[in-house]
Amino acid sequence: MSDEHKPRAPGEMSGAAVMQLARRDRTAARAELRGLSFEQQAALCGALRPEVRGEFLLLVDEPEHVVPLLEPAELVVAVRGAGMSEGAWLLELATPEQRIACIDLDCWQSYELEPARVNEWIDALIEAGRPTLVHALEELDPEIWLLAFKSMVEVVVIGRDDVPPDGYFTEDGVCYFKAESDEAFARVREVAQTAFSEKQPRYWQLVYGMLYEFESECEEYALRWRTGRLADLGFPDIEAAMRIYRPLALDAADVLDPPVEQVARRHELVLTSELPGQYAETLLARALSELAPDRARDVVSYVLGVANTIAVADRMRLSEPETAPRALEKAVRGIERGLRELVAARGLPAHEILGRARVLDLFRVAATLDPDFKKAEGRGETS
């Protein structure tokens, strides 16, 4: 690592402070960032409000080394926060995994793909430049491209000796496209031209898919691929997530010391090392402080895993900035309620309960006692 990117002691300046400095002296702000490692710059960026993350990244000397370090969800909200067109340059610097996550996190509402949002990302990929679009043609699932095209264009085959109909265009002289609007026409033409000139196998896959594949089958495969990738990011599938609302009584035999095979699945949950400071005064936090450090870290990981599970079960949009804090607030509230109920029912200290029970089961106890926990967070619907 060069001298200019040697790590500085953490906490010397926040991202917000850097932005305030930049308003007064942009050169000084850039110099301040120059003293941080790429990882520290990415951490400061991720802590900022979404609408200023793009502006922050314009201050750093080498954003191509910082953008790939952002969590996928942080990149999504950075692009959306800056405006899809203004933030499109970030997609050029993103990793393939980050670009794929833009669709996985932002373009689905529960089981349903939203083609209009996919089209917004396609426009951003076009804005980012043809090389980025070429990469995305190969990176994104072919079913995503098919579903986007099926939502805005029709394809017909015209013989070489026949007169093509008005309003259609072709790249290969045989297959003709007609878009539903001028906006869609420009989008489809750019994608088709890029695919035909740079990625012909994907072009013909797209054409044949438009002609012969059923939309329902495309949706099924797209959802399957997305579900697998979300599992890698710590989000269970919808069927597994809904188990969080299965009834569990206070006197159930396996509330404490659950079977080993149930505990073994905890590795599926997102891991982190600390509970956010706003929960410091909860019984949960006090009980955590009395556990052995390794066990406390595990429990915090499971709390955040419960939050991820709630986000899926309540069908929240995973890319929205407020989703994570809303899901975490509900998770802590439910776990806290379950912990208090078990302390009262079993006559055991909170830290012992927390050390012996599954965190997910603490939430289930709360949801069994209070049906309000089963309402989809932020929408007032019953799950």
For the chain, what are the domain ranges?
Answer: 1-70, 72-233, 235-382
108 bridge partner residues: 113
Phi and psi dihedrals of 5, rounded to 5?
A: -120, 20
What is the reported pLDDT for 3?
41
Could you read off the pLDDT tens digit of each residue along the chain, which spans 383 residues?
444 444 444 446 788 999 999 999 999 999 999 999 999 999 999 889 888 999 999 999 999 999 999 988 889 999 998 999 999 999 999 999 999 999 999 999 878 899 999 999 999 999 999 999 999 999 999 999 999 999 999 999 988 778 878 889 999 999 999 998 999 999 999 999 999 999 999 999 999 999 999 999 999 999 999 999 999 888 999 899 999 999 998 888 778 877 643 433 333 333 334 567 777 788 999 999 899 888 888 898 899 999 999 999 999 988 888 888 899 999 999 999 999 999 999 999 999 999 999 999 999 999 999 999 988 765 444 44
Q: What's the pLDDT score for residue 262? A: 40
d(CA 1, CA 34): 13
Instruction: Write down the pLDDT at residue 10.
Output: 44
pLDDT at 272: 37
Query: CA 61 to CA 38: how far, in whole Å?
Result: 10
pLDDT digits (tens, 9 = 90+) for 130-159: 999 999 999 999 999 999 999 999 999 988
Q: Which two tokens mark 256?
A: 């404490």
* pTM attached to this predicted model: 0.82
Q: What angle do CA 69, 225, 212 make, to 5 degrees?
A: 130
Predicted pLDDT at 251? 85
pLDDT at 12: 65
Q: What is the pLDDT of residue 264?
A: 35
Looking at residue 357, what DSSP letter applies?
B
Alpha carbon distance 334, 70 (integer Å):
30
pLDDT of residue 213: 94
Q: How far apart are CA 253 and CA 160, in angstroms?
A: 74
User: Which pLDDT does position 162 carry in this prediction?
Assistant: 82
DSSP notation for 138-198 = HHS-HHHHHHHHHTTEEEEE--TTSPPPTT-EESSSSEEEEESSHHHHHHHHHHHHHHHHH
Separation between Cα atoms, residue 242 and residue 236, nearest integer Å: 9
Model pLDDT for residues 61-79, shown as the tens digit of each residue:
999 999 999 988 889 999 9
The pLDDT value recorded for residue 126 is: 97
